């Protein structure tokens, strides 16, 4: 889906606000690279820049009912990302002031981390755990489809299996994800989008 003009973008925002995944993906694809480049210039870290992009769009999807009320999405989006970068910098600065034995505990989540950050990172880890636990062939089919964007027939030819078998593997993999994520299944669309874009990142 292409976006041309402010009116078209407002229409996409209105659709995304209702939970339209295609509209949300179109917004993500339009702004992801611009936002990533902006954050990379701001903090100089490719990993941090990608994390901020993911966290911002994760929060946008969680609060998608508000999207239709945003008049200037470009400014709103970049302000969100800039605020996230500032918060991350403050947390990093505070961490350097903690005693080494406290700051060095990887299992400890900083008290200043936002609820969205904690939730996104926990869900991202959980998705990876579920995918890693899938049967080998099922996992391979899922990754080829979701992360490399291959179609059913392409996967079937590559793995020498039937398209119906590919479909069966995908259905089972998605069911495993829905079961494993429990009450967070409404976040699956944005998690798929963000994780796939991260795996295929050209940066």
pLDDT tens sequence across 25-37: 999 999 999 999 9
Per-residue pLDDT at 40: 87
| Distance between first and last Cα of the chain | 23
pLDDT digits (tens, 9 = 90+) for 145-201: 887 778 899 999 999 999 999 999 999 988 888 888 887 777 777 776 776 666 555
Mean pLDDT, rounded, for 30-45: 87
CA separation for the pair 76, 88 (Å, rounded) = 18
Per-residue pLDDT at 107: 47
Reported as a pLDDT band with limits 50, 70 and 90, residue 49 is confident
Candidate from 58-67, 70-79, 85-94, 153-162 with smallest mean pLDDT: 85-94
Would the CA dihedral through 82, 83, 84, 89 be positive or negative? positive
Reported as a pLDDT band with limits 50, 70 and 90, residue 24 is very high
Q: Closest by alpha carbon to 188, among 201, 173, 178? A: 178
Predicted TM-score (pTM) of the model is 0.62
CA separation for the pair 60, 178 (Å, rounded) = 21
Per-residue pLDDT at 135: 94
CA separation for the pair 48, 117 (Å, rounded) = 13
Domains of the chain: 1-112 (1.10.1740.10), 114-203 (1.10.10.10)
Reported as a pLDDT band with limits 50, 70 and 90, residue 48 is confident
């Amino acid at each position: 889906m292409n976006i041309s003009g402010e009116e078209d973008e407002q229409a996409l925002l209105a659709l995304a606000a209702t939970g339209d995944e295609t509209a949300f993906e179109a917004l993500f694809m339009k702004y992801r690279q611009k936002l990533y480049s902006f954050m990379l210039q701001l903090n100089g870290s490719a990993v941090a820049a990608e994390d901020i992009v993911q966290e911002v769009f994760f929060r946008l999807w969680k609060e998608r009912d508000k999207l239709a009320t945003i008049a200037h999405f470009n400014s709103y989006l970049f302000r969100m990302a800039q605020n996230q970068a500032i918060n991350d910098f403050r947390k990093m600065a505070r961490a350097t002031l903690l005693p080494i034995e406290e700051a060095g505990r990887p299992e400890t989540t900083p008290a200043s981390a936002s609820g969205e950050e904690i939730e996104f990172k926990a869900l991202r880890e959980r998705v990876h755990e579920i995918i890693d636990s899938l049967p080998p062939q099922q996992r391979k089919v899922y990754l080829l489809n979701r992360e490399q964007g291959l179609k059913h027939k392409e996967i079937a030819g590559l793995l020498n299996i039937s398209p119906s078998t590919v479909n069966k593997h995908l259905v089972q993999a998605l069911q495993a994800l829905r079961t494993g994520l429990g009450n967070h299944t409404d976040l699956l669309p944005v998690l798929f989008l963000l994780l796939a874009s991260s795996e295929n990142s050209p940066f």
